[in-house]
Amino acid sequence: MTQTPAPYIALSGVRKAYRIGGEMMPIFAGLDLAIPRGDFVAVMGPSGSGKSTLLNMLAGIDRPDAGTLSIGTSRLDQMGEAARSAWRAHNMGIVFQFYNLLPMLTAAENVELPLLLKPLSRKERRMRVEKVLDLVGLSGREKQYPAMMSGGQQQRIGIARAIVSDPGLLLCDEPTGDLDRKSADEVLDMLRFLNRELEKTIVMVTHDPQAALYARRTLHLDKGDFVEEKRAA
Amino acid sequence: MTLFDLARKNAWRKPLRTVLLMVSIAVAFLIYGLTASFLAGTQGAAGASDDLLGVTSAGGRTQPLPMAAMSRIAADPGVAAVGYVTRLRGFVDVEKNVVAISAADPDLLMAVNGKGLGLTPALVGAIGQGRDRVLVGRALAEAQGWSVGQRATITAFDTPREDGSRDWRFEIAGIFEGESAATDTYFMIARYDYVNAARARGKDTVDAFVVLPRMGVSPGELAAGIDTLFANSATPTRTQSEKQFLEAFLRQYADVGLIVNLVVGAAFVTLLMIVVNTMVFAVRERTFEIGVLKTLGFSRLGIMALILGETLFVFAVGGGIGLALAKLATILAGPTLGLVFSAPVLAKALVIIAVLGLATGALPAFNAMRTPIIKAFRTR
């Protein structure tokens, strides 16, 4: 008899509500989700369906009001803020829609930021930065500032920053939302490469059905619950 | 890149704003450096000794002491050496060009405080070659443009000669340097025997005895012992260390230290408000990015350290420039104005830089530290 491995990401009975104008507005009323290690999941849904809240909870920047949320061996719902910061630094990378690069830092310095939180020598940090910049096809642009780059290039810097500390989980918040089709496809190709070749577990929130096609499966969220799941052919 | 590089780059995001902040900090520390150097230097208190005792009349410095008291002081077993001094105040050419003369026995002065004043056997020998010869302190010589061999006339304010004249003519026999830059050298040393013989009144009296305690003898206890010795005499004494004496002397006119501290304190409080206000706005502008850094895993303490590092950097650069300018000013004008940029002045300034750097960064750092990531992301 084979034993089913525990999911890498597991949400069980997660409840979340926000107070808006004096009233509690429920977002999730008992959400369940299981994502195995190495999966690439696209989360789609209309505005207000809870996509961002889900991503914020997976990133440890928001906590469920009730229920359990575990990633790997960590129970994020039980962690305090300091522990969640440390967890983020070592276990997760995040790719933002608008890249969110620091404008006064060069491409290499932006990528190096998460490594400042690790006990690495300057040389080790530089080697890792060079490696990931090469991986995202931006070797030779180390000293360029974000303002000198196209949107696609900035997003690739954002991806390099997200993976430079070699996290197991990559969270992507509309990673192609600010890009033209060609740049979007390049970024999505890269995410697929990271998933298939480097075995990163990826959760990507998107409105773009084309982007969702790059994922192994797509979950549709509506009114705080998953209503549909599609697996890639 | 290091965390400090990140803080430094944050500080330079708006170069004009940062430069203006640094200029205001530099000006405040220039003021501080100059005023502290003034206190340490011109007042001479920094270079004055805690061990050397001055015995004056308990009735005030205008009341002289009889020369006969010297043998009683010298008889105290705790006394290593005794000298005496009578002070004349006068002017050169114009009344505002004030000069002080200490009339003393050069050999005794050498024994009591030769090291502190920078007296040498050659200088003492030179003044001994003529009754009207004087030794001039370096600061006074430079201020008056005097050199060895030159003759100088001092018109005394209140010490007339027997012939009714108030003009005292001296030949400059040498220039003494003082032990260190902090030593007051804005005066001249004349021979007591010459001044005493020529003055119209107050003969055989002195303004003060200068006492050097023996090794191992507490200056405080010796001072009390001397005052007890004369407590029931016609001329009770008040014995203080040279430092206490100088500080008390200056307080006759004004508590310069208090005035300077109030001025500098006001400058620093104003600076504190300006920098805090600027930094609060600067950090508020970056709330979104602070959210990004937190998302990348920067802890609350890490964010706080970044902002404190930024304000410390601004203060270190601005304060460093101000202190360097103050040091330059003391080098260029120090001997004339009596400015001494001493190690304690520098050490105190560095502590103030650190304290103000942390104090001005505390409020914006605390705000940034407490801002939840989700709230930070809503600011874009």
Q: What is the ipTM of this complex?
A: 0.91
Residue A203, domain extent: 39-62+89-226
Q: What is the mean pLDDT of residues A168-182?
A: 91
Is A22 domain-assigned? no
Distance from CA of B281 to the nearest CA of A (A): 18
How near does any CA of chain A get to the CA of B272, in Å?
26
Determine contact: B306 vs chain A, CB below 8 A.
no
Residue B46 pLDDT > 60, yes or no?
no
Residue-wise burial string across B259-289, b where 16 or more C-beta atoms lie within 10 A, e elsewhere: ebeeebeebbeebeebbbebbeebbeebbeb
Q: Say yes or no for a CB contact (<8 Å) between B292 and A112.
A: no
Does A61 sit within 8 Å of B374, measured CB to CB? yes
**B300 at the A interface (CB within 8 A)?**
yes
Q: Does the pLDDT value for residue A216 go beyond 70?
A: yes
Say if A165 falls within a structural domain: yes
| pLDDT score recorded for residue B45 | 54
Query: Which residues of chain A are within 8 Å of residue B2 when distances are taken between CB atoms?
Result: 116, 122
Q: Give the residue from B85, B83, B193 showing the smallest Cα distance to B131.
A: B193
Residue A144's CATH number: 3.40.50.300
Q: Is residue A79 part of a domain?
A: no
Answer whether residue A7 is part of any domain: no
Question: pLDDT category, B22, cuts 50, 70, 90?
Answer: very high
**pLDDT for residue B38:** 79
Q: How much is the average pLDDT of B152-157?
A: 94
Q: Is residue A27 part of a domain?
A: no
Residue A153 lies in a domain: yes
Q: How confident is the model at residue B164 (pLDDT cuts 50, 70, 90)?
A: very high
Nearest CA distance, A232 vs chain B (angstrom): 30
Q: For residues B297 and B300, give the distance between their C-alpha atoms in angstroms, rounded to a whole number.
A: 9
In a domain, A77, yes or no: no
Number of domains chain A is built from: 1
Q: What secondary structure, in 3-state letters, does A9-76 show?
A: EEEEEEEEEEEECCEEEEEEEEEEEEECCCCEEEEECCCCCCHHHHHHHHCCCCCCCEEEEEECCEEH
- Higher-confidence residue of B79 and B263: namely B79
pLDDT in tens, B173-188: 999 998 877 678 889 9
- Could A113 and B294 be called an inter-chain contact, meaning their C-beta atoms sit closer than 8 Å? no
Domain residue ranges of chain B, discontinuous segments joined by +: 3-44+255-377, 64-234
**Across the A/B interface, how many CB contacts are shorter than 8 Å?**
64
Are the beta carbons of B295 and A104 separated by less than 8 Å?
no
Does the distance separating the beta carbons of A161 and B1 come in below 8 Å?
no
CA distance B2 to chain A (A): 7
